Structure formats: C-alpha cells, structure tokens
Structure 1
Amino acid sequence: MAERVDSGTRPTAEGEAAPRLRPLPARGRVLAVLAVLTGGLLALHRQVPNSAGHLGSLLEAFLPWLGVVVVLLLVAALVRRSATALLALLLPVSVWTYLFGGLLGPGAEAGTRDLVVVQHNVSDENADPAGTARTLAGAGPDLIALEELVPAALPVYEKTLAPDFPYHEVRGTVGLWSKHPLSGTRLVDIRPDGIEEGWSRGLRTVAHTPHGDVAAYAAHLPSVRIRTSGLASALRDESAGLLGRALAAEKTGKVVLMGDLNGTVEDRGLSPLTSRLNVAERGFAFSFPASFPVARIDQVMAGSATVVDIRTLPSTGSDHLPVAARISLD
C-alpha cells in the first residue's frame, strides 16, 4: 500500500514527517530604508523645498544632528546583526563625514598673520556686563563684536574693555571694540520692510591691523521662530539679503563679518552671506541656547581670508555662548 505523505511535510530518514523549511525574513530592512532616507536628507538637503514653512531651512538648522540618527541606526543594526542595514549605513556615514568630518580635525598652527576675533550676543537682560566683558577680553582677541547692547550696560562695557581695547564704535544695539585704530565707521542698514525706523543692527568699520586694513562688520539679524507651520524666517532672510548687498559693494580687500545671524552656515537663508564669505574650517562651536547649545547661530565669516577655527568661550550672563575665531590673513 502506498505511503501517504501529509501536505506541508516530507518524510525523514526514519520516516517521520518534518516541517517544510521556509526562508527567514531579511533582517534590518526597515533600518536599511531609514539609513538611505537619512543619507538622502544629508546629501540632498538643498532639494527640500522652502515653499511651505521654510522646511528646508528648518532641516538645515539642525543638519549636523542627523549624525546622532546615524549612530542610533548603527547601534540598532549591530544589535540585530543585520548586514543589510550595516551596508546601507555606509551612505549616511559617508555623506555626514564629507559635510562635517573636517570640522572635527585639529586646527592649523597659529600663523604670523592671524587675527583673533570674538563674537557675542550679550543679551539685553545680562545682569553682569562687567563679568561678561572680562570673559571676552580673556580670550585675547584683536576685535570684539557685541549685540543687544542696551544704554544702561554700554558704559560698563566701555569702561571694562577700555584698557585693552582703546578703540570702539557703536551703532544702535551693535558695537565693535578693537586693539587697532578704526576709521570709516558707518551704519549698515539691514532693516527689513515694516520694521520701525529706530531699528539699527549693523555697522561697518575699517580696522588698521599690523597686517593690513580689514573691513569689519558687526550685525544682528532678526530672530526666527519655530512654529507649527514651520520656520518663520522671512525677516531674517530679507535682512541677510541687505547685508549681502553691502558686502558685495565693499572695496576693502579683506573682510570679517561677526554677528548673531540667527542661522547656521548650512541654512540657505544665509546664502547671501555664505556665497560671498568663507566660514570656519574647524569647530562646531554650538552657541545657542547657552544652557544646552544645539546650533551655532553666532557666526564669524571672512572674505579674502580664512577662518581657521572657531570655538565657544565660557558662559556669561547671556542666553548665547560667546564664540572666538582665528582668521588667517595670508
């Protein structure tokens, strides 16, 4: 009599039935997809549209933090022992390294034609302007740019900084202190349409350094807000465009821009500036908020010069951290 074999089984050597083998599901497919998407956002962030809620600028404001997503995906891939996910992670790792890896490297050695500058939004609610001034002077800069200067605190900054920085200029709520003589100071009008007449947040002067004249700009662009509708940055973007036009008209060969620009250098809203000036080659220097810095919105940029590195200074009475940058004038 013929032996009956049940569906879904096969006889073993001993004649016993065994379950039919089925292919195991591939491990880490979801992780691999997430890795590719993360790599795509890093590589193609400029393609994310700004038409709705300035989503592109919002992504670019926190772009380096996608590296944390990559690390979390890597840990998950190792836990699942997924070769597929690990292979896919090569994309975001490579792109992040290309975009930001250089910022992690050591800075170049100090040169004989270096200029050290400090940038700080001192806050109009700063309860210790004298201590703030001493912290900034302690970094040994040639130039100090300050924003949110209020009339009550201005004399304190002037008195505290005067011994080391005998030259200074103030326009509105921004000021610049220098070890070297200044000339040709003027207001830079970066006031967006609809802002009241007394709004003054930009100045330009020429610092006569031992290494030649440098056009020094100090600026404070309008604030941005993160809302449910996205990033509200229209006023900031308009002000950046006005500042960019002023820089385009600058006749002095070397230029340094210091300011609270309320945007990261990856943010396309600052492209009128970053398209004309060099940004820091080393250092993340996240400066805001001071309690838990997640982005550098206090910037130092240079034209016909190199921003070698940038770093944060100790916290002051402000909600921003100061940043110090070394600029090579070679």
Structure 2
Amino acid sequence: MLGHAYIPNWPGHLGSLVETFLPWTGLAVPLLLLCALIRRSRTAAVAVLLPALTWCSLFGGTLRDKRAPDGDLTVVSHNVNEHNPDLTGTARALAASGADVLALEELGDATPRYERALAHTYPHHVVQGTVGLWSKYPIDTSRTVDIAPWPRALRTVIHTPKGPVAVYVAHLLSVRVTPASGFTTTKRDDAAHLLATALRAEPLRRTILVGDFNGTLDDRALSALTSHMHAAQTEAGAGFGLTWPASFPLARIDHILVRGIDPRASWTLPATDSDHLPVAAKLRL
C-alpha cells in the first residue's frame, strides 16, 4: 500500500493497474486476520495492525462524510453508454436530478434524442462529437479540445449569476487488459496530457472539468490532470463514490474536478441503464 508509487509501469503498465484498484488492497486485512486466527498466533494478529493502520491512513479520510448543505451550482456528469436501451428514461432521470449543468459522454447516434428529451429543462446546450453539455444558464465560446483523432472533449463558458465559469467535458480513451500487452493505457495517457495542456492555458480562474477519465485519481498516469485541480469527491464526498461498473462498482472513473471553486458536496446518483453511475457535485462559486 505504501510502495505503490515504486511499482514500475512496465511491463504492461502494472503500476497504473495496481493504483486503479488501490483501495481494494484493504481486503488483505481481514484475510490476514483470518490466517492469524487459524494459526492461533498472537504475533500474527498484532502484525495485521500494520496493514490495517496503513490502509486507514491512506483512505480513512475518504470514508468521512464531508458534505455541506450550501452551494450555488449543481453539476452532474454521466457516461450514458452508446448502447443504452432506455435513452428517454436516462434523460428524464438526469433532468430530475436538479442539476444546473449536465454533462454527457458517449452520446453517439443518440444525440438528437437527448436534445429533444432535455430541451424543456435545459434551454442551452452544446455538443462536440460524443460529448455534450446542457445548462440552465447561457453558454458560449464553445470549441472542441483536441485529445483524440475524433472529438471526445469540449470547452465552453457558462454565464452563471456569479459570473463566467469555464467548463470542460472529456471522455478519455478506453483502456484494455490483455494477456499480450497487459494494462494498455498509452492512448488514454496521451489524451490526459493533451487535456492538461489545454487546462493550463485556460484564462478563466474558475474552471470545472467533468467526464469519464477511464482511470481513478490514484493512477499516476492522470497526475497531469489531478495535480492542478481539486476532486469534488475527495474534498466534499462521503466514501469512495465508485461509479463503474454500475451493477457492482469497483472503481471511480467518472470525476468532477474544479479549480478556483469550492466543492461543498459530492455524491453518485441512482443507476440508469448505462454501465456507469452518474456523479454529482454542489459547488460554491
């Protein structure tokens, strides 16, 4: 647990793979305790305290409820899954969430149906390729952020009652685990660095980045993004807020990051017919 940063990322990006599921290393603690009880060894039982305390030092703060009631902007992000069998139900559930700003990833050919379903709640929207943003507040100066050969990220400005906010929506490229090449993350990592470059050049102080990163915040490969922004779940959540797969979440790969903004609460929404859970955050501008 303490030495994960020293695990080499070759072969097969092993370090990133371990860091993706790092919180699950805590499962070793009850297993070791069971072994100590079977052996009836007091020394082994005492030794279990070391990994137990290590896990608590790394993740104990994550379990604490840090949510606060105030905030003036609610943001929701959801990978809706291009193969979602219930697009209308998904759109209705997201519109009913109370979000002021709604970001969708993996729209695909379903974009027109989401536009029709969300038009009543969100008078303003922009779509670039497979990602889109719906807002109750006016938006302008939208453009694609080049992170892949096809549009998978956008940047726009929302004019809230408290002034302009830059919002980025991104869907980083997928990763694969194969026997031949291991944990393949090269394309995702390249996209993360391109996105980080765009964020460093962002002139607005108040900036929000949301989307499906196909990686957790513990993954060193995403440090270019996470080192200059704050995660809403880390600062204002309760628990890990795992999002994927929706049927039995193992990792939080859907995120809301901010800069120049104070996160006040972060949570996951009930499952839709997507393979991801939606994520939400209440922010104070």
Q: What do the CA deviations read for 1:55-75 (whole angstroms, capped 9, x no partner)?
A: 000000100111112222233
Distance of aligned partners of 1:77 and 1:160 in 2 relative to their CA distance in 1, 3 Å threshold: same
- Distance (whole Å) between structure 2 residues aligned to residue 301 and residue 87 of structure 1: 39
Of 212, 222, 230, the match for 1:260: 212
Q: TM-score, normalised by structure 2?
A: 0.93
Q: What do the CA deviations read for 1:296-317 (whole angstroms, capped 9, x no partner)?
A: 1111111122334432222212
AA aligned opposite 1:177: W
Ranges in structure 2 where 5+ consecutive residues have no aligned partner: none
Give the root-mean-square deviation of aligned CA atoms: 1.6
- Distance (whole Å) between structure 1 residues aligned to residue 282 and residue 52 of structure 2: 29
Question: Is residue 124–residue 138 contact of structure 2 (8 Å, CA) maintained in 1?
Answer: yes
Matches within 5 A, 1:203-214: 203-214=154-165
1:324 matched to 2:283? The reply is no
1:43 counterpart SS class: coil
Of 123, 128, 131, the match for 2:81: 123
- Distance (whole Å) between structure 1 residues aligned to residue 242 and residue 37 of structure 2: 30
1:319 counterpart SS class: coil
Question: Is residue 284–residue 311 contact of structure 1 (8 Å, CA) maintained in 2?
Answer: no
Flag as ranges the 4+ runs of structure 1 deviating above 4 A.
Answer: none
Q: Which residue of 2 aligns with 1:249?
A: 201
Question: Is residue 142–residue 180 contact of structure 1 (8 Å, CA) maintained in 2?
Answer: yes
Equivalent pairs, count: 280
AA aligned opposite 1:288: W
Q: What do the CA deviations read for 1:164-190 (whole angstroms, capped 9, x no partner)?
A: 211111001100011111121111001
Q: Which residue of 2 aligns with 1:6?
A: none
- Distance (whole Å) between structure 2 residues aligned to residue 126 and residue 132 of structure 1: 8
Question: Is residue 256–residue 281 contact of structure 2 (8 Å, CA) maintained in 1?
Answer: yes
1:273 matched to 2:225? The reply is yes
1:172 matched to 2:129? The reply is yes
Q: TM-score, normalised by structure 1?
A: 0.81
- Distance (whole Å) between structure 1 residues aligned to residue 155 and residue 229 of structure 2: 16
1:43 matched to 2:2? The reply is yes
Q: Which residue of 2 aligns with 1:138?
A: 96
Question: Is residue 117–residue 142 contact of structure 1 (8 Å, CA) maintained in 2?
Answer: yes
Q: What do the CA deviations read for 1:137-178 (whole angstroms, capped 9, x no partner)?
A: 222111111111123x22221122122211111001100011
Matches within 5 A, 1:1-330: 42-111=1-70, 113-151=71-109, 153-191=110-148, 195=149, 199-228=150-179, 229-279=181-231, 280-281=233-234, 282=237, 283-329=239-285
Structure showing greater relative contact order (alpha-carbon pairs closer than 8 Å, 6 or more residues apart): 2
- Distance (whole Å) between structure 2 residues aligned to residue 243 and residue 318 of structure 1: 25
State the identity %: 52
Q: What do the CA deviations read for 1:272-302 (whole angstroms, capped 9, x no partner)?
A: 1011111122231211112221111111111
Q: Which residue of 2 aligns with 1:19?
A: none
Question: Is residue 58–residue 230 contact of structure 1 (8 Å, CA) maintained in 2?
Answer: no
